[in-house]
Amino acid sequence: MRIVVLIIAVVAFYKWVAFPVRASGDSMIPTIQDRQVVLAWRMNRFSPALKRGDLVVINYAGERQLLLKRILGLPGERFAMRNGAIFINGEIIPEPYVQFQAGDWNRAEILLEADEYFFCGDNRSMGLANHYATTVKRDRIMGKVKR
Amino acid sequence: MKRPVLALLVLALTVGGYFLTRDDDAAILTRQLRRIETMGSHQSGEGQIPRQARAANLRELFTPDTSLLIRIPDHGERKLSNREELMDVVRQVKAGVDAMRLEFLDPKVTVFADRRVAEARTTLRATIGENANSQQLFVELKVQWRREDGNWAIEGIETIRTVGR
């Protein structure tokens, strides 16, 4: 009986509260290493609003394609990337978590929609074309990783 | 007595081998998406002749009356109503875009019961340009196939929604 209750509790915890995610690749180093396992707290309507710098798990395609990235641009903001630096509403923002700076990533300015965020990884030393650095709607963000 | 047993064994092996080695439709269609990725992608240094030649092979994967409804973020909507229109656009893109990489992420293929029509839901990741100035588009697509004369061909692609831009 105890085992059944334990199994139900574990399943319910993973389904409604938090779930483990294993990072695959180097796009988040040095914050998260390749193959590192982190716990993502599920987002729901009662979750607090996302802030710049939050680490999130995004369901980007199908059922299995999950991304572990950092939120950089918030809804309603003008987002741009110039020579690897992030500009929000025309002003550069500090990024202490970035230790491998590319220096040559560029992205023309876009206006983020009401429920749209811009995300990117912390490792900017890899080619932009091999990196997921784009926008996402709020309903695709499945969980938030607390560090 | 031994002969019927042997014959049954051979029959069982033949039938079992057929079912184990035959290509199921979903696998064939997933492979078609992979071919589109290869044919539709090109690198910056690649010459026009090879990239146009590879793209020309896309023709065989589409029905003559294929229809495409593509919504590109910040660029509006484009509707194509047959294969020739599609190939014209492909030629223009191949000639005008420096580098492009197409990837169908996590395609989920459904073959309907009569095995004459099929559908896939997938997210297309299109990377335009290379290195520092590349831009990525992510669109969720519905791809529909029709089987004619035993061959599968795409009869429609529709943009469901933009996932990222």
Q: What are phi and psi of B114, to 5 degrees?
A: -80, -5
Binary contact (A128, B165; C-beta < 8 A): no
3-state secondary structure of B85: helix
- Contact list, B105 vs chain A (CB under 8 Å): 60-62, 65
Q: How far is CA B25 from CA A13, B38, B60, B114, in A?
A: 38, 20, 17, 12
Kindly state the average pLDDT of the residues A99-110: 84
- On whether any CB of chain B is under 8 Å from the CB of A62, the answer is yes
User: Which of B33, B37, B127, B136 to substitute to test the interface with A, most A CBs within 10 Å?
Assistant: B136
Q: What does pLDDT average to over chain B? A: 89
What 3-state class would DSSP assign to B133?
Answer: helix
- Please tell me the distance in Å from B144's CA to the nearest CA on chain A: 17
Q: What is the CATH number of the domain that holds B58?
A: 3.10.450.50
Interface membership of A80 toward B (CB under 8 Å): no
Residue A124, pLDDT above cutoff 90: no
CA pair distance A104, B131, nearest whole angstrom = 9
Q: Chain B residue with minimal CA distance to A138?
A: B163
Verify whether the Cβ–Cβ distance B164 to A110 is below 8 Å. Answer: no
CB contact under 8 A, A128 and B105: no
Q: Test B101 with A129 for CB contact under 8 angstroms.
A: yes
In single-letter form, the type of residue at position A92 comes to I
Q: Is the pLDDT of residue B1 over 70?
A: no
Q: How far away is chain A from the Cα of B128, in angstroms, using its nearest Cα?
A: 8
Q: Is residue B158 part of a domain?
A: yes
Task: For residues B82 and A22, give the distance between their C-alpha atoms in angstroms, rounded to a whole number.
Answer: 44
Q: Which residues of A81-93 are buried (b: 16+ CB within 10 A; e: fewer)?
A: beebbbbbeeeee
Instruction: Give the Cα separation of B21 and B89 in Å (integer).
Output: 38
Q: Which of B165, B161, B154, B147 is nearest to B70 (CA)?
A: B161
The pLDDT assigned to B16 comes to 72
Order of strands, edge to edge, in the sheet holding B151-164? B76-80, B62-72, B151-164, B135-148, B117-128, B100-111
For chain A, the maximum distance between any two Cα atoms, rounded to a whole number of angstroms, is 60
- pLDDT at residue B20, rounded to an integer: 62
Across the interface, of B131, B137, B138, the residue whose CB is closest to A129 is B131
Give the residue numbers spanning the domain of B113: 24-164
The Cα-based distances of A131 to A29, B18, B39 in angstroms read 13, 42, 22
User: How does residue B110 score in pLDDT terms, banded at 50, 70 and 90?
Assistant: very high
Asked if residue B150 has pLDDT above 80, the reply is yes
Q: Which chain A residues are closer than 8 Å to B106 by Cβ?
A: 61-65
Which of the two residues, B5 and A93, has the higher pLDDT score?
A93
The reported pLDDT for the residue numbered B66 is 95
- Euclidean distance between CA atoms A119 and A101, whole angstroms: 16
Domain assignment present for B73:
yes
- The contacts found for A89-96 with CB under 8 angstroms, 24 or more apart, are A93/A52
B84 backbone dihedrals φ, ψ, rounded to 5°? -65, -40
Which helix or strand (DSSP H or E) is residue B77 part of?
strand B76-80
In Å, how far is B131's CA from the nearest CA of chain A? 5
Select from A128, A130, A132, A138 the residue whose CB has the most chain B CBs within 10 Å, as the one to mutate to test that interface.
A128
The predicted model gives B115-122 an average pLDDT of: 94
- Name chain A contacts of B143, Cβ cutoff 8 Å: none
Report whether A57 contacts A143 (CB < 8 A).
yes
Instruction: Check residue B14 and give its pLDDT.
Output: 79
Q: What global pTM score does this model have?
A: 0.80
Contact B165 A110 (CB under 8 A): yes
**Looking at the predicted structure, is the pLDDT value of residue B115 above 70?**
yes
**Contacts across the A-B interface (CB distance below 8 Å):** 64
pLDDT one-digit tens code per residue, B6-54: 888 888 887 776 666 566 899 999 999 999 999 999 998 899 999 999 9
Residue B16 placed within a domain: no
Neighbouring C-alpha atoms within 13 Å toward the C-beta of B112: 11
Contact yes or no for B105 and A61 at CB 8 A: yes
- Say whether pLDDT at B131 is over 80: no
In a domain, B31, yes or no: yes
Angstrom distance (rounded) from CA B138 to CA B120:
16
pLDDT class for A93, splitting at 50, 70, 90? very high
Number of domains composing chain B: 1
Pick the CATH number of A20-145 from 2.10.109.10, 3.90.1150.10, 1.10.10.10, 3.30.2080.10: 2.10.109.10
